[in-house]
Structure 1
Amino acid sequence: MKLYCFPHAGGTPGTYLDWLQPLTNMVELVPVFYKSRELTLGDLVQEIASIILNQSIDETFAFIGHSFGSLVAFEVAIWLQDQGVSTPVLLILSGKRPLIYSSKKQRHVLCDEDFYRDILSMGNFSNESRAEKMLLKLFLHRVRADFKMSETYRYPQDHIAEAEIIMLNGLDDPETNNDEMDKWDLLNRGNCEVYHFTGNHFFIFDHQTEIIDVIRNKLTKYLSLNETEGRPL
């Protein structure tokens, strides 16, 4: 079984591959790269979906994404679904409001200085080295492009996923609203479970053990079903 890893805005899948290492004894972790930040969200989704389709014919797979990665993962699942081809059995999403709500902010229109400062305020950067913060500055255009795709996204009412959804939420995440998170169940036809954890937008790195346990338990169910039905893992 493959688990495709969708990074946050400006991020690389390497961060999540390290974080998800405890799962490598049960699934194959597959990094998803956003090759071009010049694409529209629709073009990016189609590009990624086409690659996944070629890699996972007749194979069970799932998606995991954080923040912007949750949006991309969801839309890739919808694209595959609309094509009538293999689709993920499970969407593990985190750090994202239900897509029926428009973005709270429009950071992508800020000047570089304000945009950079706002990104740092989201958390996960307070302990970064000066060199790593400078690296963020160098790739600010890439981060801005991802934020633009996320912040200008408008949810199409007919985008309803067939896959089960697990939503992970940080209770102190300024990007989400704790009272809204249950609305994710309006975006799929399968089971939808929301798990809340203490922490800010990057809470997942503070709760690795608990979150890995949640994911492992859910993946075990699908692996068991595959063995029963004789489907390739």
Structure 2
Amino acid sequence: MRLVCFPHAGGSASYYFPMSAALSPAVEVAAVQYPGRQDRRREPRIEDIGELADRIDAELRADGDGAGLPMAFFGHSMGAVLAFEVALRVERRGERGPVRVFASGRRAPGRFRSDTVHQEPDALLIEEIRRLGGTDSRWLEDDELKAVVLPVIRSDYRAVERYRSRPDAVIDAPVTVLTGDADPHTTLEEAEAWRAHTRGDFALSTFSGGHFFLERHQAAVIDTVTEALGPYLEPR
């Protein structure tokens, strides 16, 4: 089967190399590369979650490599929002949607906070990045790299902080939520609120750690994904 992975704000497709290596060959990991970074760095950045979800949905429809394969979605932080929005678009067309959506490190779509990090000066944006962890701190000390990376992160923050979902938006796909018990951006109650956004079954896995708990618990996270996808995998 195919697992489509959606990176966090400022993240890139390469973030999911470890998951791809661990799940191969039973699961083909297809990681989304957002415009404006790495090999797509010359493309205009997209600062609207709806537009980005539309673009990703169109790419998945046009990609013949995964035709006929059951698929699941995994998204971390901003990626969890995009996984949900793309699933909504697939299901609204009446097509076969993901067999499961894994929403990691993000509060439920109907839960909003008045975050304005994207409006802060560079120094405060960098402070927020350090606070969350999950980013190689070496580039934060390099002015040339900062000039390249900070605009990408700011654009992603602008997109996700302005995102608003209808509180009654629901997908048919079952949802597995993964969250850190010390994540400053998602309380356990906000993680549990994903239950209201699926007509399928719901599971919540809590890990010790903050926003990027999945790096500390990489093996356990992959085990959680493997176990949930087990019923859909054919023996080889």
Normalised by the length of structure 2, the TM-score is 0.88
Deviation at 1:133, TM superposition (A): 5.1
Code of the residue aligned with 2:56 in structure 1: it is I
Q: Percent identity?
A: 32
The equivalent of 1:40 in structure 2 is 48
> What is the CA distance between 1:47 and its match in structure 2?
0.8
**Which position in structure 1 is the counterpart of 2:59?**
51
Q: Cα RMSD (Å) of the superposition?
A: 1.9
Partner-residue secondary structure (3-state), 1:160: coil
Superimposed CA distance per residue, residues 1-33 of structure 1 (whole angstroms, 9 cap, x where no aligned partner): 111110000110111122442111310010111
Q: Distance in 2 between matches of 1:54 and 1:86?
A: 15
Task: State the distance in 2 between where 1:79 and 1:114 align.
Answer: 35
Give the conservation status (yes or no) of the 8 Å contact 2:47–2:155.
Answer: no
The count of corresponding residues between Structure 1 and Structure 2 is 224
Secondary structure at the aligned position of 1:119 is classed as: helix
Cα distance per residue 1:99-128 (max 9 Å; x no partner): 111135211111122112112211224xx3
Of 58, 67, 72, which aligns to 1:62? 72
Following superposition, the deviation at residue 159 of structure 1 comes to 2.0
Q: Could you give the per-residue CA deviations for residues 60-118 of structure 1, whole angstroms, max 9, x where no partner exists?
A: 10111100000011101101111222311110110001111113521111112211211
Runs (4 or more) in structure 1 with deviation over 6 Å come to: none
Structure 2 unaligned blocks of 5 or more:
36-43
Contact 2:105 2:183 in 1 (8 A): yes
> Match of 2:3, SS?
strand
Amino acid in structure 1 at the alignment position of 2:82: V
One-letter amino acid of the structure 2 residue matched with residue 40 of structure 1: D
TM-aligned CA distance change 1:46 to 1:84, over 3 Å: same
**Paired residues for 1:1-233 under 5 Å:** 1-35=1-35, 36-55=44-63, 56-125=66-135, 128-131=136-139, 134=142, 135-224=145-234
- Supply the distance in 2 between the matched residues of 1:173 and 1:82 (Cα, whole angstroms): 32
Change (3 A) 1:129 1:159: closer
Conservation of the 8 A alpha-carbon contact between 1:116 and 1:137: no
Structure 1: gaps (5+ residues): 228-232
Tell me: CA distance 1:170–1:152, structure 2 relative to 1, closer, same or farther (3 Å). same
- What amino acid is the match of 1:165? V
Structure 2 CA distance for partners of 1:186 and 1:130, relative to 1, 3 Å:
same
Contact 2:47–2:156, Cα closer than 8 Å, also in 1 = no
